[in-house]
Amino acid sequence: MSSPEVVIIGAGAAGLMCALTAAARGRRVLVLDHANKAGKKILMSGGGRCNFTNMYTEPANFLSHNPHFCKSALARYTQWDFIELVCKHDVPYHEKKLGQLFCDRKASDILQLLLVECSEAGAEIRLDTAIEQIERTDTGYRLATSAGEFACQSLVIATGGLSIPTLGATGFGYQVARQFGHSVLPTRAGLVPFTVTDPQLKALCAELSGTAVEDCLVSCNGQSFKENILFTHRGLSGPAILQLSSYWQPGDTVHINLLPHIDLPEWLAEQQRERPNSELKTLLAELFTKKMAGLLAEQWFVSKPLKQYTPAELNAVAERLADWTLIPAGTEGYRTAEVTLGGVDTREVSSKTMESQKSPGLYFVGEVLDVTGHLGGFNFQWAWASGHAAGEVV
Ligand code: FDA
């Protein structure tokens, strides 16, 4: 039986950060993953450019049943620490917007730097390895795997969430958590497009598939995001919708202000005064694409020359554009979700070290925990910070 001091299950963002940190301390580290490649999600992330952190990372950017949990790790390994690592490896990057940092070239630059750090520090990574059984022993843990048996003092679970099973996601981390007496909070897909089934709405979304509307204000359950929305064949997507999906529960109404930057009642009244013979459709085409203007004028309003609208009718137009309400039928689910909400209950894990309070020597890092970031590089920052926190002590 081979005996590394630390075994990390999961060669994703959090597992690799934990491995390079622990190995740099001189620990004998073995990373096991069932996939045929390390860091598959890193490679897919940010449209292939990996939004690896966010300059404005704060605890308020994370959802958790225990909102204070993320603070300690985020404060001890910050976005600036990761940026320093990126600079050390001469990886060119840029801010896209809102503090979101992306690789100039490709996401593999980030994976490569993690693998180089792991290799230089002496951490071993074994892929294509299925974990069959885990047992507690007097001195730590024993693992039976498809690559043989391993014993270790510290066992780190870095198996991520359920999003995108085709990239290797499994519920294995939750299973291990339960095995050692942990509670797992209900999981659901987050940062995920909405689907619609109402026939008229579905037809509108399908007709406008691919059309984006910039800087909409979307709200639900007291949370609002101002960003772009995107119509899809199945419903609605785009950054504003993805952000909101993490706060949405089935049955909830979503409010969309399509033009939050315009005082619509005032603007419409002004247009009516200045160009009374213009049709509403023509006016809307100055704000949206021609196709969208035509469809909205047809489906939501009766398009006629502005002079023919009563003040009450104009107000109704303003209200519809400023507060389009809809109830999504659901989300696209784990198939396309960027993250999994819920997971291992952080109230049973040390916020300083990520160690289990139920089973000494067992650690949970990354997305498997009930900590989920907003869209914009926050989920990787959580993976780096939590992986580092455990890597310092395992
Ligand atoms: P991660 O999922 O990265 O790694 C888990 C590892 O465990 C995988 O290698 C998997 O194969 C392995 N594993 C699972 N089950 C196992 C088992 N039973 N046995 C052995 N190994 C097992 N975030 C962000 O901040 N910026 C971005 O640009 C993006 N973009 C993005 C795009 C897409 C398409 C997705 C799906 C997600 C993102 N994200 C993101 C989210 C981000 O990728 C995610 O939060 C982190 O990868 C989580 O890191 P972890 O290491 O916790 O899990």
Per-residue pLDDT of 345-366, as tens digits, reads: 999 999 999 999 999 999 999 9
Specify the pLDDT at position 107.
98
What is the per-residue pLDDT for 303? 85
CA nearest neighbour of 366 among 158, 112, 173, 207? 158
Residue 51 CA: nearest ligand 1 atom is: 28
CB 316 within 8 A of CB 300: no
The arithmetic mean of pLDDT across residues 50-76, rounded, is: 98
Site to substitute for ligand 1 among 159, 192, 368, 374, most atoms within 8 A of C-beta: 159
Residue 28 confidence (pLDDT): 98
Query: Residue 366 C-alpha to ligand 1 middle, in angstroms?
Result: 8
In the block, residue with structure tokens 């160690």: 355
Amino acid letter for position 297: A
Lowest mean pLDDT among 57-61, 165-169, 266-270, 279-283: 165-169
C-alpha dihedral (203, 205, 209, 215), degrees to nearest 10: 160
Instruction: Determine the distance separating the centroid of ligand 1 and the alpha carbon of 340, expressed in angstroms.
Output: 10
| Tens-digit pLDDT profile for residues 70-124 | 999 999 999 999 999 999 999 999 999 999 999 999 999 999 999 999 999 999 9
Q: Based on the number of CB atoms within 10 Å of its own CB, is 104 exposed (0-12), middle (13-18) or buried (19 or more)?
A: exposed
Secondary element (H or E) of residue 362: strand 362-364
- Protein residue whose Cα sits closest to atom 16 of ligand 1: 159
> What is the reported pTM?
0.97
Query: Given this model, what pLDDT does residue 1 score?
Result: 63
The Cα 355–Cα 338 span in angstroms is: 26
Does CATH number 2.60.120.10 belong to domain 194-331? Answer: no
State in Å: Cα 158 to ligand 1 middle.
9
Residues in contact with ligand 1 (CB, 6 Å cut-off):
9-15, 33-35, 40-41, 44-46, 50-51, 131, 158-160, 163-164, 168-170, 172, 338-339, 366-367, 377-380, 383
5-38 per-position pLDDT tens digit: 999 999 999 999 999 999 999 999 999 999 999 9
Mutate to test the pocket of ligand 1, among 43, 45, 346 (most ligand atoms within 8 A of CB): 45
Best of 20, 31, 191, 338 to mutate for ligand 1, by most ligand atoms within 8 A of CB?
Answer: 338
- How far, in Å, is the centroid of ligand 1 from the Cα of 326? 31
CATH number of 6-188+341-391: 3.50.50.60
φ, ψ at 160 (rounded to 5°): 70, -165
Q: How far is the CA of 381 from the centre of ligand 1 (A)?
A: 12
Handedness of CA 339, 343, 345, 346 (dihedral sign): negative
| Domain coordinates in residue numbering, the chain | 6-188+341-391, 194-331
Question: Residue 230 phi/psi, 5° resolution?
Answer: -135, 130
Atom of ligand 1 nearest to the CA of 379: 25
Return d(Cα 305, Cα 65) in angstroms, integer. 52
Ligand 1 atom nearest to CA at 38: 9
∠ CA 89-94-96 to the nearest 5 degrees?
A: 145
Alpha carbons 53 and 82: distance in angstroms, whole number = 8
